[in-house]
Amino acid sequence: MKKFVIKTILFFTPILILGIIVEISLRENTFSAKRNYIDSNADSIEVLILGSSQNFRAINPEFLTMRSAPLAHGESAINIDFKLFDRYFESFPELHTVILEVSYHTLDDFRGYKWNKNHLFHIYYNLNNYKDKPPFKDHFLLTSNFKEYSKKFFKSILNPEMQEYNRFGYPYKWLNKSRFANLNYNDSLIKKSSHTAYLNGRHFDEHIAYFDLNSERLDSLITVCNKRNIDVVLLSPPKYYLYNQAMNKRKLERRNSIFKKYMSHKRVHIWNFETKYEYETELFGNEDHMNSKGAEIFTKEINVLLEELESKK
């Protein structure tokens, strides 16, 4: 029995050590970069940036003069933004502006307790989007989804560039690897490769109940910010013209009703850039995401607007 126990320990020890090495390696990612930056600069954060991958790809805080908390994430949704706002806004004593993505699909979107990225927000931000307590497996990347993270680990070894991002967690190498780049920014080829499922799938996926719920929560966020003299920017970043042409009118009208609702609010600012750069192909990675070149141009424009807001206070 003793020999069996010793052999078992000897067998599993290298596996455990390898697992720990892989876990530690995987923990260094865009989430950790964002959290580390926020932890180090919490006392001087002036701008909180929330949103999905559309904001994440379009805003590179490297080109903002104000210290910013870059909390927009790929595949996220506005209910996660609300949780991040609740988690952090009191931790930033100098906060004076919240940039919240309100693209035309945003208010119809929601991430529930079964979302496959809940563990990331739990691990890095101590944010609970589960039905109850986070399951034990979701305390670690490898145990949350062994197959996915094993692939990521080996891909990062074979292609270290995929892990290149700045101190704000912005993945600037995406310019070289996006679909538009692979098609040499050729509009004819892009049209041929723009699948109906990509362009139309989310456009016609409507959720009125989510819209109502998110609209109420947006009201609450704006009320909290108003009491604290914090400006709220409702931002829709640039989209490629093919994406704009495929927009669902009902969905767009619902979103625009929110813009109209807050149009005259003293502390709310509507910045809708959906069509401004829509024909400048080389600024995009795909139909609804800017690449790093586009992000630099767009972020500098946003920076001017933020400075103008600050100068009026």
Same domain, 235 and 151: no
In a domain, residue 35? The reply is no
Tell me, yes or no, whether 264 and 171 share the same domain: yes
pLDDT digits (tens, 9 = 90+) for 204-240: 889 999 999 999 999 999 999 999 999 999 999 999 9
220 Cβ neighbours under 8 A, 6+ residues apart: none
User: Following DSSP, what letter does each residue of 59-109 receive, concatenated?
Assistant: --GGG-SS-EEEEE-TT--HHHHHHHHHHHGGG-TT--EEEEE--TTGGG-
Predicted confidence pLDDT, tens digits, the chain (313 residues): 666 556 555 555 665 676 677 788 888 999 999 999 999 999 999 999 999 999 999 999 999 999 999 999 999 999 999 999 999 999 999 999 999 999 999 999 999 999 999 999 999 999 999 999 999 999 999 899 988 888 888 777 656 555 689 999 998 877 677 889 999 999 999 988 877 666 667 778 899 999 999 999 999 999 999 999 999 999 999 999 999 999 999 999 999 999 999 999 999 999 999 999 999 999 999 999 999 999 999 999 999 999 999 887 7
267, HSE (Cβ side, Cα atoms, 13 Å):
16
Last residue of a domain, one of 158, 182, 216: 158
Are the C-beta atoms of residues 255 and 206 closer than 8 Å to each other?
no
Whether 35 and 124 have beta carbons less than 8 Å apart is answered as yes
How many structural domains are present in the chain?
2
**Are residues 283 and 297 in contact, defined by beta-carbon separation less than 8 angstroms?**
yes
Instruction: Look at residue 134 and tell me if it is in a domain.
Output: yes
Q: What is the CATH number of the domain that holds 75?
A: 3.40.50.1110
Domain membership flag for residue 37: no
Cα–Cα distance for residue pair 46/42, rounded to 1 Å: 9
Claim to verify: residue 149 and residue 284 sit in the same structural domain: no
**Is position 36 within any domain?**
no
Residue 132 located in a structural domain: yes
Task: Examine the domain organization and report whether 154 and 278 are in the same domain.
Answer: no
Q: Do 301 and 210 belong together in one domain?
A: yes
Comparing CA positions, the residue from 106, 104, 47 lying closest to residue 76 is 106
CA distance 242 to 287: 7
Asked if 4 and 87 sit in the same domain, the reply is: no
Residues 220-246 as b or e (16 or more Cβ within 10 Å = b): ebbebbeeeebbbbbbbbbbbbbbbeb
Residue 12 domain flag: yes
Distance CA 187, CA 179 (A): 12
Q: Find, among 295, 284, 58, the residue nearest to 190 by Cα.
A: 284
Last-in-domain residue among 158, 187, 222: 158
Residue 54 lies in a domain: yes
On whether both 148 and 52 belong to a single domain, the answer is: no
Positive or negative torsion for Cα 49, 51, 53, 54? negative
* Cβ atoms of residues 302 and 68 within 8 Å: no
Q: Are residues 151 and 297 in the same domain?
A: no
Contact criterion met (CB below 8 Å) for 226 and 220? no
Sign of CA dihedral 34, 39, 40, 46: positive
Domain residues for the domain of 132 are 1-30+114-158
Judge if 286 and 306 occupy the same domain.
Answer: yes
The confidence score (pLDDT) of residue 21 equals 79
Nearest to 83 by CA among 58, 57, 120: 120
Q: Which of 135, 158, 181 is the last residue of a domain?
A: 158
268 and 146, same structural domain?
no
Same domain, 52 and 196: yes
DSSP secondary structure letters along 20-55: HHHHHHHHSSHHHHHHHHHHHHGGG--EEEEESHHH
Residues 12 and 120 placed together within one structural domain of the fold: yes
pLDDT digits (tens, 9 = 90+) for 160-187: 555 689 999 998 877 677 889 999 999 9
Q: Is residue 305 part of a domain?
A: yes
Q: How far apart are CA 44 and CA 65, in angstroms?
A: 12
Comparing C-alpha atoms, which of 96, 310, 267, 57 is closest to residue 175?
57
